[in-house]
């Protein structure tokens, strides 16, 4: 049996890779696997398929003899935060993060509020293999009610991270991309004193992530300029990541957030061994500049669970991804886009500096080009000989290692694409090498597709 888990839980197109039956069995398997007798916490983003999957998962949990509590539409980080604080036995967030509306996903957390480890993934998959004869009729349907009191505990927790600081006088634009951030981002920033303009703020699962949010910054750049705002923050579908934008439309991605936030902690002598954690996607300019100021950048594979593992191993206080998924000690390393946006705003206010000026003091990024090759097959499911053919090409290009040039190629863990990252100091070198790699890999992938 091929693993159903990717780099961030289970994900796929609803009713194709991710079905009602599978969601039911996952709920059942988690219910059987969790040892504490406390309820399992459930939440979802705004996708149309979310409530259908919620019903399936909750039925599965009940069929396993366990209870659940439904938080409602919420940011993903609310689930681990509340598991830890309220001692739930585990949790599930139904979301496909930054993916388009037709996708959905199941993110599973253990009783410590951490993404489940490989051992529990294997245990769940083993239960799934023997659960084919489960009958949905084993559960008597009841209405699923939201728990608003719990959600308020999460939002108050975010506000409390400001301490005695406020955002009075700051003009901030938020793009909640029709997703989870619609539930609280605007109200939190208003409570903190900011003058808030919010766009794409309806809970619309048919529009989630479409031409908006952290993967499409044109709307927030336009809104910032039209409203003469100081800065803006654009979230993804489940609000666990964020990208910042300054008053002139310049982008503050996860690399810049880590560098700027990390430098503050470095100057305060708070970083263990001056170390921050990022992935193989992090910009070379970031790494080189961080090293020059006395820091150490430890790289992991792409995925917040790998960053979290490295944070624990290195006893680091800060880590994250270029995509804007930032993990900090403040909330037990739950990647939280709203928390990150609050902290960036807080630093600007405390330092009495504009985000534009702060960004000017950051590193100069090397030119990068990220190309996606669409796959009409699942990379991990293809024949070993085909996989080796692609891996040989990937390895030959990935071995290009110079001080000022880097290639990183990987199959996405959340989408049917092969991602090719090329970076160098010279844009022409980036474009030339990227074209060469993409052409060669596309040719091989096309040939493999024709035989499948």
| Residues noted as catalytic | 97
Tokens, residue 101:
């509306």
Q: 306, 299, 265: which is closest to 282 by C-alpha?
A: 299
In this structure, are strands 231-235 and 242-246 parallel, antiparallel, or unpaired? antiparallel
CB 99 within 8 A of CB 105: yes
Sign of CA dihedral 177, 180, 181, 184: positive
* 223 Cβ contact list (under 8 Å, min separation 6): 173, 175, 197, 199, 229, 232
Tokens, residue 195:
């003058």
Cα–Cα distances (Å) from 243 to 73, 110, 340, 351, in that order, read 21, 28, 9, 20
CA distance 246 to 330: 24
CB 46 within 8 A of CB 208: yes
From the number of C-beta atoms within 10 Å of its C-beta (0-12, 13-18, 19+), residue 85 rates as middle
CA angle (412 as vertex; 407, 418 as ends), nearest 5: 55
User: Would you call 11 helix, strand, or coil by DSSP?
Assistant: strand
CA distance 116 to 123: 11
CB 181 within 8 A of CB 340: no
Q: 154, 355, 151, 220: which is closest to 343 by C-alpha?
A: 355
Sign of CA dihedral 97, 156, 247, 229: positive
CA angle (199 as vertex; 194, 204 as ends), nearest 5: 130
């Amino acid at each position: 049996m091929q693993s159903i888990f990717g780099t961030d839980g289970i994900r796929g197109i609803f009713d194709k890779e991710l079905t009602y039956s599978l969601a039911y069995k996952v709920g059942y398997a988690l219910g059987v696997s969790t040892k504490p007798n406390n309820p399992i916490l459930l939440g979802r983003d705004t996708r149309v398929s979310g409530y259908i999957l919620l019903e399936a998962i909750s039925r599965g949990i009940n069929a396993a003899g366990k209870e659940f509590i439904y938080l409602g539409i919420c940011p993903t980080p609310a689930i681990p935060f509340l598991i830890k604080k309220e001692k739930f036995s585990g949790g599930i967030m139904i979301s496909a993060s930054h993916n388009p509306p037709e996708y959905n996903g199941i993110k599973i957390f253990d009783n410590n509020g951490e993404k489940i480890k490989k051992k529990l993934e294997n245990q769940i998959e083993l239960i799934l293999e023997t659960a084919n004869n489960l009958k949905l009729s084993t559960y008597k349907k009841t209405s699923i009610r939201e728990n608003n009191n719990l959600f308020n505990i999460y939002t108050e927790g975010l506000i409390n991270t400001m301490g005695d600081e406020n955002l009075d006088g700051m003009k901030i634009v938020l793009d909640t991309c029709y997703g989870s951030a619609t539930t609280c981002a605007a109200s939190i920033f208003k409570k903190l004193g900011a003058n808030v303009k919010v766009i794409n703020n309806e809970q619309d699962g048919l529009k989630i992530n479409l031409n908006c949010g952290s993967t499409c910054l044109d709307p927030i750049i336009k809104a910032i300029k039209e409203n003469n705002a100081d800065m803006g923050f654009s979230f993804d579908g489940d609000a666990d990541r964020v990208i910042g934008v300054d008053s002139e439309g310049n982008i503050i991605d996860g690399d810049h957030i880590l560098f700027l936030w990390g430098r503050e902690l470095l100057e305060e002598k708070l970083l263990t061994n001056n170390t921050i954690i990022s992935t193989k996607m992090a910009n070379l300019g970031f790494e080189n500049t961080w090293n020059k100021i006395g820091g150490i950048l430890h790289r992991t594979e792409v995925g917040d669970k790998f960053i979290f593992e490295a944070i624990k191993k290195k006893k680091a206080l800060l880590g994250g991804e270029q995509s804007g998924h930032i993990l900090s000690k403040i909330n037990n390393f739950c990647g939280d886009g709203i928390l990150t946006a609050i902290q960036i705003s807080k630093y600007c206010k405390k330092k009495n500096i504009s985000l534009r000026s702060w960004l000017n003091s950051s590193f100069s990024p090397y030119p990068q080009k990220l190309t996606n090759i669409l796959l009409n097959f699942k990379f991990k499911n293809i024949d070993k000989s085909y996989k080796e053919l692609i891996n040989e090409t990937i390895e030959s290009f990935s071995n290009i290692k110079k001080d000022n040039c880097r290639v990183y190629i990987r199959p996405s863990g959340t989408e049917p694409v092969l991602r090719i990252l090329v970076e160098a100091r010279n844009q022409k070198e980036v474009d030339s090498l990227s074209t060469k790699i993409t052409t060669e890999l596309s040719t091989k992938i096309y040939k493999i597709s024709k035989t499948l």
